[in-house]
Structure formats: C-alpha cells, structure tokens
Amino acid sequence: MEIPTLFTYPFRYTPHPLVAEAAGSLIRLLDSPDAPVPEDALRSLREGKMLGVLITDNGPLYAFSGILAGMSLLDGFVPPILDITSGYFKQREREISALPPGPEKSAASTALQDWLFSNYIVLNARGDQASVKDIFAARGLVPPGGTGECAAPKLLNHAFRTGLKPLAMGEFWYGRSPVREVREQGRFYPSCTGKCGPLLSWMMQGMEVAPNPLDSALDSPLEPKILYSDDAVVVVDKPSGMLSVPGRIGVKSLLEWLRKRFGESVESCHRLDMDTSGLMVYARSVQYKSELERQFASREVRKSYRARLDGGPWNHSLKGTIALPLTLDYYDRPRQMVDYESGKLAVTDYEVLEILPDGSIDVIFWPLTGRSHQIRVHAAHVRGLGHPVRGDRLYGSSSYDGRLWLRACGLCFKHPVSYEPMAFGEGV
C-alpha cells in the first residue's frame, strides 16, 4: 500500500487506506470476546468514545479521547499528555469539590484549570515545546475545557516525544452512538476546531501537511447559471464550491458575482452551504428582499433537495418525516448537533427514490424548516436516517469523490410584486 507523502489535514479529510485498515483492526479486536482491555474500560468504550490512529514509520499508534473508567493509561494506547487521574490535579479537584458553592469555589476551579493548561506541555514537529495555555494565548484565546485530551494531540505528542515520524492520522467513533452528536461506530470525523484547531495547527508546524480541501473547492471552475431574472428577483443555479455570500477574504461569492451583473442593489434572501449546489433566489432591492425573507420565515417557500446517501442496511420507511432539534456545536463550528433542551426544531420530509446496486441511496428531501446543515444532520444522525450524504466528511461519510452529493433541486415562491407562484426545478 502506498505510503502517504503529505500528512493528513485533520480538519477535513478522507482517511488514508492505512489509517482505515488500522482502525478496522482495532475495532475487530475490541469487538472480539477476548478483547485485551479491562472489563470496566471496555464497558466505557462500548458506551461510546472517539478513538484515534496515527500511522508512523514504525507502525500504528492508538489513542482514546479523555479518560476511560477513571483511567488515563491503558495498554495498547498512547499515554496522555498529562495524567489528571492522580497527583496534584486530582487532589486539588477533591478539595475544591468539598467547598461550598460560592466565589471561593469558583475562583479555585478557575485557578486549577489555569494550572492544568499551564502544565499541558506539548511538542511540535520542529522540536519546539509550549504549554496549551501559551499556544492559545498567542491567538488571544483561552483554551476551552477538555483541550489536550482528544486523541489527535495525544498521538502527535507521543510520536514527537519518542522520535517517530507521523505519516497519516484519523479519528473515528467506537461504541454506542450519542444522542447529541452525529457519531456512528467505524466512521471517521474531523478534529474539532475549537479545542484542537489552535493546538494541532501549532503541533503540525514543521510537517508537510496536505492542503485544506476547502481551498481547492473554492477554486471551482464552474460558473453560476441564471435561470430567471426581472426587475425584482434573480433565480440562479449555484455551483458546488461557491459561497452564497461573502465570507472568506479574497474568495468570490455568488452575491458578489450577481452584483457585478445586476448592480449593487442585489440582496441575499437565504443561503446554501458552500459544498451544496442548486437553486437560489436573490432580490434586486432591499424592498423585495424583505418580502422574500417574510415568505421564508413563514414557511411559504417550498424547497426540495436531491441527495445520494452512503450505503448500508436501510432500516427506515421509504418515505417519512424527520424532526430533530438542532443547535451549533460551539467548539466545533460549523458542525451542528441535536439538542433537546435548547435546540431549534428542524423538520424534514423525505422519500427514497432508488437504492442503487452499490448500496448507496438516492433520496429527495423537503425541508419544512431552514436550519443550518439541516438535511446533512437529518441524513447522518442515528435518530434520523443514519446514512450521511455521500462526500460529507464533516458528518462521517465513508466515501468521497471530490463533491458533496447534495443539490437544491427545486424552489417555489411567490413573486414579491405580482405574488404569482414561481416554480423552478423539480419536486416542488
């Protein structure tokens, strides 16, 4: 099998075959009746845990995020950056727990957290050494709780300290799927941006890392197609890889593209994810924007999406409704998660169009609400369909061929002047 020449870009990647093979070996071992793991740790693993694998020039290394059944050290896995299950941290934590609620307890907890991040010392590929506290402070940030406990930084730190050369890396889920996050056993997920973003970026200094695939996606040669225009609206077919509105500096957005052709008065009324292609309507003035946004807010606009989902056993009706409350994963933007306490209800109707010979599934979706990543989460989440949109590396798709297989294929709204229904595409 070919050895990778560039190290994995951990925030958006397709796992290298060596990484997938090593992960599969570990899963089979943990699933076996004679798994070489203490019973309480194995029980904790099977409740659900993010694991990591790092391919080095001396074979694979494995890590688990956080602790297992109160243990930071476990045979077969790399050690933690700092063992928080014993010593000063554990003793001080017990002392703080015994304090009554109030300012003293809060100040003591903050001081202990500061001590922890000052003592989480990591290396990078150049041999430099720094604390998690200083790495975040250099960006004007304070590390969130749990920073440094994820599998990826554990793996890299151990490799650097033992003189091993990292070649490829991936993080995957093992065990029961959680209610909140999109997680399924054996699927790979990108490293979080809130905790691991600054940390891994610093640790990888001195390595030849694969480019961010989003950068190449933004260079898409495809041009938008105007489907309809008049003095009030423009209906356009957005290509995958183009932003709906300005975001990243120096990157052309569809709104800017339209303003060059129709004037600066063009306004955005709704959005599609950068990776999603398909039909959008823009207003030719603020006045028409207000009316179109009213239609979106009152759910008068009908939209349809075509998607191809990853294969696997289909245990759902061929048509139905998914209703899950969604909220932003604050420490892992832009990923969304299910939150039954504070999430906003997202509702999607769906119908299976075809189950293809390779097992992948063609589905049409009708979102009845307009939450961020609604269809992507409803497709991938265990309480949705449990089948990620093909090519969706953010939510665990196992296949990637250079595109996200999600398209806004139909759009129906009332003209903001005449109020006549206007329908484009299919499924509406």
> What residues are labeled active site?
273
Beta partners for residue 121, in sequence order: 131
The C-alpha atoms of residue 324 and residue 359 are separated, in whole angstroms, by 26
The distance from CA 229 to its chain's CA centroid, rounded to whole angstroms, is: 36
The tokens for 70 are 């109160």
For 277-301, letters b (16+ CB in 10 Å) and e give bbbbbbbbeeebbebbbebeeeeeb
The C-alpha atoms of residue 277 and residue 374 are separated, in whole angstroms, by 15
The C-alpha atoms of residue 164 and residue 18 are separated, in whole angstroms, by 16
Among the residues of 251-382, which ranges form H helices?
A: 254-262, 286-297, 374-380
Closest by Cα among 62, 70, 25, 80 to 44: 70
The C-alpha atoms of residue 240 and residue 134 are separated, in whole angstroms, by 38
Q: Which amino acid is at 235?
A: V
C-alpha gyration radius of the chain: 24
The C-alpha atoms of residue 363 and residue 370 are separated, in whole angstroms, by 18
